[in-house]
Chain A
Amino acid sequence: MPTAEKLRRRALVRFLLSAALVLLCLFLLQRLVTPKYAGDIVEGALISEYYAEAKDHDLIFIGDCEVYENFSPKVLWEEYGVNSFIRGSAQQLIWQSYYLLEETLHYETPRAVVFNVLALQYNEPQREAYNRMTLDGMRWSGSKLKSILASMTEEESLVEYLFPLLRYHTRWSELTPEDAEYLFKDYRPSHNGFLMRVDVRPAENVPEGRILADYSFGDRAWSYLEKMRLLCEEKGVQLILVKAPSLYPYWYPQWEEQVEDYAAEHGLLYINYLDLIDETGLDFSTDTYDAGLHLNLSGAEKISRHLGQLLREDLGFPDRRGEEPLSSRWQEKLAAYEAERESQLAALGKI
């Protein structure tokens, strides 16, 4: 006959085992239903790629599609010996960029940070789908929590970020083989954050911007740019502002003026690649894959060359191509880059 103490102990063991089983099941199910972004939309897989990297970059790009589609870290390394990484995701809002930068500077201190200024146009949270692509990939930290709180739209809930299972519970009916394949590993679609596209869809015209009631960037957007500047200043990192050469969304002269004034006021380097089309050799009949919204591989490599030259010659970035084990790591990356280029060209029937 078991004693009361034994019965209590047995009940406790049973409870603990049951709780462990429940937690394990929920953990596995959460992993299963959380999107892997390994299908048509791969942009959601970009942010998490950084954590597998050795954290000794010279340059970090921060921004939206105008950085991860338009700059090639491979060119910066291969031709100028600059080790760079892009922390960008689709429609990455400026406060998300700020918190990603805060997180990145917690891991490492690069020589410079390049921020693409198009995100200044957004002063409010936009869409949950884009928030998720930026935020789900971040590791849990104070920066992630602050980024979530700054980014949530009215329909979103912090609880669903803490427990993504609650957000993605309906995905059980649309699971694909990729969900099982990437259950315990991350899908890695980029090359140091650069998303390669080799196809071409020429730009046929330069779209006109619609008239806006107010061309001033919002206070919130400005405040995060200022925070970014101060953070870089505190960490001794040079902040470089860029505007990628996308034909649309339209970059208004009034916006340009505000950014130029801000850069001048704080002594920041600002490069607008829309003004450097001839200098970089960009040709919108061959260097874009979606009629001017984003550059393709050819276009991205052209402006990366321009930037690399500036980093080396004007800003004195050292050539690290002889450094080990960095150089060996890059050998693997260059091979993967070339393989994907060839694979995409083959898929298009061009080789």
Chain B
Amino acid sequence: MLFTSYAFLGFLCVLFPLYYLIPTRHQWKLLLLASCLFYFAAGPTYLLYILTTALTVYYAARRIGALGAEQSAYLKEHKAELDREGRKAYKDSVKKRQRRWLLFALLLNLGILAVVKYTNFAIRNLNGLLSLFGSGRQLSFWNIALPMGISFYTFQALSYLIDVYRGVSPAQQNPFRFILFVSFFPQLVQGPISRYKDLSPSLFAEHPFDAHTLCRGLQRVLWGFFKKLVIADRMLSAVNTLIRGGDYTGAYAFAGMLFYALELYADFTGGIDITIGVAEALGVTVQENFIRPYFSKSIKEYWRRWHISMGTWFTDYIFYPISVCRPMLRLSRFGRAHLGEQLGKRLPIWLSSFAVWLATGIWHGASWNFVAWGLGNWLVIMISQELEPLYERFHRRFSVAEKGWFRLFQVVRTVLLMSALRMFDCYRDVPLTFRMFFSMFTARNWAVLFDGSLLTLGLTGLDFAILAGGLVLLLTVSLRQRRGSVRDAVAARPYPLRFCLWFGLFLVVLFMGAYGIGYDESQFIYNQF
């Protein structure tokens, strides 16, 4: 059930009234039922996958929590009898048992993710190797469907498990509540990857009807539909023409690069707006996943503002554990002893970052282009990091850091750099991406940007006019957001004005949205991850 489908709107039209009509203590149960129905609609068998993940993680976390409680009780009871060594030995033995449960659930669920998502990738590579070595034998691909949002819900469930193991979150005792946490339908499609401590308080709370909350949520949903239907899906046909096949080189590749970056931004942030808005209308608080990333002045900053929940997940559960693991500490000591203090200190950071970006790339998709995209990001971030002292000297020397034009330059540079890296994502083929990227510097067809050739890509002049208008609105809202919530600003206006603004936006989506017959029904790009 796509967010932009009529079925989803119908689903919400039934859910919202029901949610506020039933006794508030049953609201979370209705959400659980709705989430199961939502997932069932995507594919009945998918429900088995998500239930397997939810139940195994729930059970393992409960065991870990129970062991922790057992340990506290034991230590309290035997406080007088145990010396320091005895307490440590006991704690170690409990930790070992907890770690077994942690590893069991981690391996099982990452194993499921690996099998359904990466088996055919592995087979494709094995077949490539077999051909390379002259073997005529080829392995058959598995006919296995990728359950909707598996990467998102698996990571969300595992973050809870690790937090319980670390003692950050208490173990949820009610399996049904935990299933709701894992399967909460607005964020099943494309995240964000919520943390248990952030999501659970409002998810399980009682929410009496409040027109203001409902309206605010629906306003956010409408804004999401604007981004998705008016900008992203309208852009889709031009992007598909430009990037498929590799015939459009030079200036076309440049246009395709920017179009794709814009489409992806509008698509993903639009989807997240719908997610957060639907949750808000239900009284549930979902963490923000974007803070105007294209206003970032560096790639590092960009990644702190783009898909925030994924970035923090990789930082908390991959980067830090690897950085401080014993082999890495040994490596750091070795590096400092043999390569010098500075290099020795950085070595673990480089390697941990490498692991994070490799995992980020693989998480996005089972193909080499995503690996190349992840490592491309790593390379750029590492180079920027290493050159930071140089930049700072330059900024101090020329006093440009606070100048408006220089900040604009930095923003444009970040947008271009990120868009260029995204070419790995949009062409889905590493050699082709390189070919198209370098064609921008060799082809001499820049006139096509101005001579009307762009009108042959599947978009009419009217489409471009709508896109331009949409972009101006997007930019205006983004700039205004720096001073606080735009919805709050609108809410402070007189009723006739805010009615006209919201109804006007609704009409824009209704009439200028790319939906229905004649448009490719485009699923959200991040849906595929």
Contacts and interface: CB of A to CB of B under 8 A. Distances in A.
B5 to A, nearest CB: 9
Contacts of A173: 462
Nearest to A169: B511
Nearest to A174: B462
Interface string B501-529: 00100010011010111100000000000
Given A18-B499, A22-B503, A166 B511 contact: no
A216 interface: no
A335 interface: no
Contacts of B507: 25, 29
Interface residues of A, number: 19
A167 B503 contact: no
Interface string A122-136: 000000100000000
B94 to A, nearest CB: 57
B409 interface: no
A51 interface: no
A225 to B, nearest CB: 30
A173 B463 CA distance: 11
A170 B510 CA distance: 9
A157 interface: yes
Contact of A165 (B6, B499, B510, B518): B510
Contacts of A167: 516-517
A102 interface: no
B510 A169 contact: yes
- Chain A, interface SS category: helix
A351 interface: no
Contacts of B10: 159
Contact of A172 (B495, B503, B511, B515): B511
A14 interface: yes
Contact of B495 (A14, A25, A165, A166): A14
Nearest to B514: A170
Nearest to B510: A169
Contacts of B511: 29, 169-170, 172
A165 B515 CA distance: 12
A130 to B, nearest CB: 13
Interface string A3-44: 000000001001000100010010001000000000000000
Interface string B278-289: 000000000000
B233 to A, nearest CB: 13
A156 interface: yes
A157 B6 contact: yes
A160 interface: yes
Contact of B516 (A11, A25, A29, A160): A160
Nearest to B506: A22
Q: Indicate the size class of the contact surface on chain B.
A: 10 to 19
Contacts of B499: 18
B503 A170 contact: no
A22 B518 CA distance: 27
B166 to A, nearest CB: 48
A169 B515 CA distance: 9
B513 A169 contact: yes
A154 to B, nearest CB: 11
B211 to A, nearest CB: 8
A155 interface: yes
Given A165-B510, A173-B462, A155 B495 contact: no
Nearest to A171: B511
Contacts of B515: 166, 169
A157 B517 CA distance: 9
A166 B517 CA distance: 10
A172 B495 CA distance: 28
Nearest to A155: B517
Contacts of B517: 128, 155-156, 160, 167
Contacts of A172: 511
Contacts of A170: 511, 516, 518
Contacts of A14: 495
Nearest to B513: A169
Given A14-B495, A29-B511, A165-B510, 15 more contacts: A18-B499, A22-B503, A25-B507, A155-B517, A157-B6, A159-B6, A159-B10, A160-B6, A160-B517, A166-B515, A169-B511, A170-B516, A170-B518, A172-B511, A173-B462
Interface of A: 11, 14, 18, 22, 25, 29, 128, 155-157, 159-160, 165-167, 169-170, 172-173
22 contacts: A11-B211, A14-B495, A18-B499, A22-B503, A25-B503, A29-B507, A128-B517, A155-B517, A157-B516, A159-B10, A160-B6, A160-B516, A160-B517, A166-B6, A166-B515, A167-B516, A169-B513, A169-B515, A169-B516, A170-B516, A170-B518, A172-B511
Interface of B: 6, 10, 211, 462, 495, 499, 503, 507, 510-511, 513, 515-518
Closest 10 CB pairs of A and B: A159-B6, A169-B511, A172-B511, A155-B517, A173-B462, A18-B499, A169-B510, A157-B6, A167-B516, A166-B516
